[in-house]
Structure 1
């Protein structure tokens, strides 16, 4: 489920209840969707035996049999676009900026201690999408415009609509919905974006409709 925490079965090295003796990794989210050109944060929380010390931690996407995984920060595709962010001793988050379509991968976290190593499986699946505008009939002579993405973006986003490159502005309506309804015919181009990423417009659609409209929020 998008946006959920998932804890993978811990590996316990003893039954000693006096100390934490388990290895585990918890990811949040376990799958996520983000816009091309934007940034994404993926978090992990990990545990290990109390009598050990973490010596190294890495996020990676590629693994070869018999070889250590390559830190994603050292991958040519990610140069200058990846940051590790640690808010506590047992937290290691990754931020990827200026997302590209080929960043759609499964990301896994591995940490090393002075007593062993552990990889959280199966990892976090990242999907990367652009925005598109689809047009359909409303049945009453108007058109329904949908700001569409190929994966499920967070449901708390605010959508912005544009006509001929200018933000739709009407004091009588709330123009922040994913759907835009337009009545009667007009020649014009319509596109959408997400607030906070206003520069990442969808390609223009041409429903040839007037700007006599109202919006429906999802």
Structure 2
């Protein structure tokens, strides 16, 4: 008896190579958050983690504060009489570098850094950029400007209101507030209320406390810009530029109709713009100077004959 034998095709051999003790972890220190505002006599926790290459053993881990001097080993705050009883290291010599500072005072306003060294000659790391601690006796309001909405689409010759609020630390008195449409680093931006193109159309509706709303009337295509709120206080460092600002897009209206119309056909006219107006628009259709009243009154679409006039009210 003859037997037919089929050989299975050879299967590839897969080798799994596992290497222990090797990693691609680099040097680093991460802070969260990087800025803390605290009330006087409160307790602050500066959360922190750190990484370093495998094969290193942590020998020393400590916190220090600025300002720092190049070439000078920073001071360990746990050895500083002003901090030693109030500073408690909550971390370890592996990955956690969190620290707690209690009974904070105004003198504690500094930038704080974590520092660690290992058993290798080049095993040392300084954790830039650190944590900035602000201490206040009233409230922890920070610098900021908020716009709502951040993008506005307006019809030509309409009126635009840019709603805006701003905040700043306690103890500051507002000296100057204004709007601008330029952002050049190192150059003081122009006040639009002093610009001939805006002075008669721009009205500041805000105050010198929290409201920075502004109104711009009779907008034109030339008004398409990004606008920013700027304010200064009575302190040397008391100034803020409200980025990212408000983007204003200005559009006209265009009526779209079929290319060919035969007598007796139903015709739909559509009033279009390059962007959707932020404020709800009311569309009023006219034919031979007479207002057209339809079931879809005030809509941007009209089903009628192609002889018309169009007005828009904002």
TM-score of the two chains, using structure 2 as the length reference: 0.52
Show the counterpart of 2:257. Answer: 135
Q: Does 1:175 align with 2:270?
A: no
In structure 1, runs of 5+ residues without a counterpart are 1-9, 197-218
- The 1:31/1:11 distance shift into structure 2, 3 A limit, reads farther
Are the aligned partners of 1:11 and 1:23 in contact in 2 as well (CA < 8 Å)? no
Structure 2 counterpart of 1:56: 176
Q: Is the 8 A contact 1:161 1:190 kept in 2?
A: yes
Distance 1:132 1:74 in 2: 34
Alignment match, 2:309? 191
Structure 2: how far apart are the matches of 1:175 and 1:89?
43
Larger relative contact order, structure 1 or 2 (CA cutoff 8 Å, min sep 6): 1
Deviation at 1:192, TM superposition (A): 2.5
- Superposed CA offset, 1:17-55 (max 9, x none): 751241011001100111111111102101100111111
| From 217, 224, 248, the counterpart of 1:126 | 248
Task: State the Cα RMSD in Å.
Answer: 2.7
For residues 69-218 of structure 1, the aligned pairs below 5 Å read 69-86=189-206, 89-115=209-235, 116-136=238-258, 141-154=265-278, 156-169=280-293, 173-182=295-304, 189-196=307-314
Query: Structure 2 vs 1, CA of residues 54 and 87 (structure 1 numbering), >3 Å: closer, same or farther?
Result: closer
Q: Which range moves more in the overlay, 129-138 or 70-79?
A: 129-138
2:154 to 20, 31, 34: 34
Note the C-alpha offset of 1:169: 3.1
Aligned counterparts of 2:279 and 2:145: Cα–Cα separation in 1:
26
**Secondary structure of the structure 2 residue equivalent to 1:102:** helix
Q: Deviation at 1:87?
A: 6.0
Distance 1:14 1:113 in 2: 21
- Answer whether contact 1:14 1:21 (CA < 8 A) is retained: no
